[in-house]
Amino acid sequence: MKKALEIGGFVAGGVLIVFGIVAIALGAWGGHTVNKNLKNEFITGTPDMTPSGIAPEVDAIKAEQQKIAAAQKQAKIPPAQQTVFTTVEAPSCSVAGEPVNNGSRAACFGNYMRIHALGSSNGLTYAQMGQYAAKPDAPVQFTDFNGGTSDTKYAQVDPATGRPVSNGARNV
């Protein structure tokens, strides 16, 4: 019995060593694939992709979020139904003028892209935006307070198709 347990321990140890080697190899292969694909995209950070360069856009997003919150309070939207805004902060990294050719630069670039996306939606995330363009006279409680609605009854209709018009800001 003791001998069988010893053999089992050696076999289990061997399996774990092989598993570790395979995991390391897969990680290295994945890193190589990411770096290769990033290089093929020829992405370069824009000049505003520094903490100080993006600060004005971050401030503008926060101001727009405050405007929407104030409009929701003015419209007497119950607190439980008011928008909970995503936190917007300037990243601590910088990729301005840098090629985005590895995982850490891609993550940094992604943080700046998120700020640009929030800037184009006045601080709303994709899920918070109405799917359709709201009619100008749509009751505010059926809108996202940013020109969109998810209620087809209050959506603008394309006269050619008779279908609701997509919210262009959300489609970005």
Domain ranges in the chain are 1-41, 44-123, 129-172
Q: Is 131 exposed, middle or buried (0-12, 13-18, 19+ CB in 10 A)?
A: middle
- Res 131 pLDDT > 80: yes
Does residue 172 surpass a pLDDT of 80?
A: no
pLDDT given for residue 171 in this prediction = 84
Mean pLDDT for the stretch of residues 16-32: 90
pLDDT of residue 28: 87
CA atoms of 46 and 164, how far apart (whole Å) = 35
| Average pLDDT score over residue span 83-87 | 95
Instruction: Report the pLDDT value the prediction gives residue 56, as an integer from 0 to 100.
Output: 97
Residue 77 contacts residue 68 (beta carbons within 8 Å): no
Percent pLDDT > 90 in the chain is 80
Segment 137-169, tens digit of pLDDT: 999 999 999 999 999 999 999 999 999 999 998
What pLDDT, on the 0 to 100 scale, is given for residue 33? 84
With contact defined as beta carbons under 8 Å apart, do 83 and 20 qualify? Answer: no
Per-residue pLDDT band at 3 (split at 50, 70, 90): confident
Mean pLDDT of the chain: 93
Instruction: Report the C-alpha gap between 149 and 66 in whole angstroms.
Output: 19
